[in-house]
Structure 1
Amino acid sequence: MRVAYILTSLGVGGAERQVLWLASRMARAGHAVRLVILLPRGAEDLLSESASETDSPSLDVVYLGIQKNPWSALRGLARGASVIRQFGPNLIHAHNFHGNLVGRLLGRLCGGVPVISTIHNVYEGGRLRMLAYRISDPLSRQTIAVSEAACERYTRLRAIAVNKSGVVANGIETDNFHPSLNQRNAMRATMGVTGKYFVWIAVGRLAPAKDYPNLLRAFAALQLGQPAARLWIVGAGEHSCTNELQSLARNLGIEDKIRWLGSRHDVATLLDAADAFVLASAWEGMPLALGEAMAMGKPVVATDVGGVREMTAESNWLVRAGNSNALAEAMARIMALSDTERLRIGEAARARILQRFSMEAKTREWEEIYRSVLR
């Protein structure tokens, strides 16, 4: 099978990691794979990280180098058509809004190559984007969402047709995410964790969807009863966004309790070193960082958005989005548990990921969808 994967960039993000893992597994299974990336290669490109994380052949990657102007977009589309024709795929698997639209156009321009579209978030834009999805829907054989919540929303908005919709949840490369006491102790020493500090970790881009102001307010409220808590934030964002968040932390009086770690390639080790994971998002598709934390055996507290409940199958530690006090209360309840109770919760979380969300199982699901489309 020859599969062309199309996505906007290979910057740090859950969708990008998911595509790299899937493409790597497809290549290892003997399929011909090409990644077509719309934007130029960036400083935080995940490709080098993927090469170290997966024992896979080198991936065939083409960057179209599209800039934010119409002429560049047209040139990029023309180059993309040339790249697709030269590769000769059996099908195109596109991801996220811009990747999905370009993938659909390239499928038509290249002689009707079947296109599968994937939606990775409950919210991918407003009315104009939903209209673009609706108009271009005939160019896609199937549109797959990463959660039931996302699929329901897009079909309700008529952005995708019900009879062509489906759900394949994100998978986790569990070989890369497994707890180790030696690894944990080494990273805690590196991070200077001393005494009885309880370390919370949040992983994700510094972007509106992740609602870090909600998390900072919750952590400030937590400090009133749990002054021994610390918070690590792993993720990068626009300079202005980072400054605003750090300013809010100062105003809340918690700046000395937070470590801003930026973009990191050792997320698994940092998760292992932390005591629990927190997600404060305003909206999500199927958050990969949440699944990675569960695979590392971490108790998790999260807002009940997108596919979070589908992944956790747990409501005791889920709270309404935007409710900082409820988030703080759930975090306090986790901290009040004994080490044994938290260990039990973490083991159950890891078992769920291994049983239902392994990347191996998800790759088999995608292969079956590919074969179904080709049939």
Structure 2
Amino acid sequence: MNTTAPYRLLYIVTGLRIGGAETVLYNLVSNLDRREFEPAVITLGQNGPLGKKIEEAGVSVISLGFHAGVPHPRLIIDLAVAIRRLQPHLIQTWMYHADLVGGLAAYLVGALPVVWGIRHTLTSVRSLKPVTRAVVGFNALLSHVIPSRIICCAESARESHIRLGFSRKKMLVIPNGFDLVAFRPQPEARLSVRYELGLEDHAILIGLGARFAAEKDHATFVRAAAILSRQMHDVYFILWGKDVDWTNPALTAWINDSGASHRFRLLGIRTDVARLLAALDVYSISSVSEAFPNSVGEAMACGVPCAVTNAGDAAWLVGETGITVPPRNPQALAEAWKRLLVMTPAERAALGMSARQRIETCFSLPVMVAAYSRTYRDILSAHSG
């Protein structure tokens, strides 16, 4: 531990909207030991909801106000000026565009250790927007020159980027950590959520919380729900996230075609995710691509057993406390749900508690913060030497 003044850490992030990667950043900077590290955050875009939360945690947030899109040379210059003013001991960038722009700005300033943050597993660069595809290509080349280390949130992210030409020797994996106080079993949520949704107390709930995007494959979830609905008559499916509401034409068409539309509740963006998770009997994802699925870890922390597709590090995350099935297989997903639901309530609760214990042991927030702190400490020590 640094026994004099704390090390100044500067985090550079693409944006601060509400999202999984941004939430992990918030959890990290708000839980660092301030006796050892003094964090500050620069967002390349506008400040957002998570930026306000970071500021409330006592961390300075600076917004450069640039729009998303092609990285502008002026952005690199403005960022270099900000870096000179703040004089950090170490820079941690967060996501592709910030890795590129922050890495180049730090290179201009000189003599600063830089740590990149990769938050995504790439199954194919063709799935990326053209600009992002170009940024990833530049980052692969620069990874051999600029960063001291590259931290990936998942083993699948590390392997996929090594295949794209990123420096293997600089990569390490630090899985996301979960807040066991915010995400915990809440017995009262079971009844309150069912009351809110107009359901009987004994209704079975299967949930999915994810933005509407191709890689989340909501279509497979809906098809699996249709299969299970024909076999079990007291099961309901609650979905939430950006664009997950009845105004989404594609999603509503799938649900209407399923023949089980009365079993679905679409809730849109919610701020009470921990409450929703704690009310579930089973949590599930149907993704074809993931890195380290935060929602699964949060559900496990709430004591909810999970059925997941084998995407990214989802199978590793649930381990033996849940069920993993192949992506794009509605029948297998429906069967996994049924396997969990035919358990007695006591058996399912015990499995959920095993899931929470796995999070506490392997993927808690203190474990993640300690791993980042140890990495920063090692880099700063080597740099000063």
Query: How does the TM-score come out when normalised to structure 2?
Result: 0.89
Residue 232 of structure 1 aligns to a residue in which SS? Answer: strand
Distance 1:316 1:204, change over 3 A: closer
Amino acid at match of 2:147: S
Unaligned stretches of 5+ residues in structure 1: none
1:64 aligned residue: 64
Distance 1:200 1:47, change over 3 A: farther
Q: Deviations over 1:313-370 (max 9, x none)?
A: 2386100111111111111111111101101110000000001111111111101100
Whether contact under 8 Å (2:16, 2:46) holds in the other structure is no
Distance 1:20 1:332, change over 3 A: same
Whether contact under 8 Å (2:244, 2:268) holds in the other structure is no
Amino acid at match of 1:157: L
1:46 aligned residue: 50
Deviation of 1:182 (Å): 2.6
Residue 11 of structure 1 aligns to a residue in which SS? Answer: coil
2:162 to 140, 146, 155: 155
Deviation of 1:29 (Å): 5.0
**Separation (CA, whole Å) in 1 of partners of 2:18 and 2:369:** 21
| Higher deviation after alignment, 104-113 or 287-296 | 104-113
Q: Deviations over 1:3-56 (max 9, x none)?
A: 1112222222211110000010126555221111122235xx2345567xxxx7
Deviation of 1:256 (Å): 2.3
2:185 to 173, 179, 189: 179
**Separation (CA, whole Å) in 2 of partners of 1:342 and 1:94:** 40
Whether contact under 8 Å (1:121, 1:306) holds in the other structure is no
Distance 1:364 1:129, change over 3 A: same
Residue 163 of structure 1 aligns to a residue in which SS? Answer: coil
Whether contact under 8 Å (2:9, 2:37) holds in the other structure is yes
Amino acid at match of 2:138: A
2:278 to 267, 272, 292: 272
| Higher deviation after alignment, 260-269 or 175-184 | 175-184
Deviation of 1:225 (Å): 0.7
Deviation of 1:197 (Å): 1.5
Whether contact under 8 Å (2:194, 2:201) holds in the other structure is no
Residue 67 of structure 1 aligns to a residue in which SS? Answer: coil
| Higher deviation after alignment, 252-261 or 171-180 | 252-261
1:146 aligned residue: 153
2:338 aligned residue: 332
**Separation (CA, whole Å) in 2 of partners of 1:363 and 1:10:** 20
**Separation (CA, whole Å) in 2 of partners of 1:12 and 1:208:** 19
2:239 aligned residue: 233
Residue 362 of structure 1 aligns to a residue in which SS? Answer: helix
Residue 116 of structure 1 aligns to a residue in which SS? Answer: strand
2:90 aligned residue: 91
Whether contact under 8 Å (2:244, 2:266) holds in the other structure is no
**Separation (CA, whole Å) in 1 of partners of 2:101 and 2:148:** 14
Q: State the Cα RMSD in Å.
A: 2.3
Question: Is 1:209 the counterpart of 2:219 in the alignment?
Answer: no
Unaligned stretches of 5+ residues in structure 2: 1-6, 127-132
**Separation (CA, whole Å) in 2 of partners of 1:83 and 1:286:** 32
Deviation of 1:240 (Å): 11
Residue 259 of structure 1 aligns to a residue in which SS? Answer: strand
Whether contact under 8 Å (1:174, 1:295) holds in the other structure is yes
Give the % identical residues. 29
Whether contact under 8 Å (2:54, 2:61) holds in the other structure is no
Query: How does the TM-score come out when normalised to structure 1?
Result: 0.91
Deviation of 1:373 (Å): 1.1
Whether contact under 8 Å (1:116, 1:144) holds in the other structure is yes
Deviation of 1:129 (Å): 4.5
2:74 aligned residue: 75
1:318 to 314, 324, 345: 324
Deviation of 1:202 (Å): 0.7
Deviation of 1:301 (Å): 0.4
Whether contact under 8 Å (1:142, 1:165) holds in the other structure is yes
**Separation (CA, whole Å) in 2 of partners of 1:92 and 1:179:** 37
Amino acid at match of 1:57: A
Distance 1:58 1:295, change over 3 A: same
The correspondence of residues 96-111 of structure 1 with structure 2, limited to 5 A, is 96-111=95-110
Residue 169 of structure 2 aligns to a residue in which SS? Answer: helix
**Separation (CA, whole Å) in 1 of partners of 2:361 and 2:202:** 33
| Higher deviation after alignment, 311-320 or 325-334 | 311-320
Q: Deviations over 1:159-193 (max 9, x none)?
A: x2121111100100111111122343333333333
Distance 1:241 1:16, change over 3 A: farther
Amino acid at match of 1:113: L
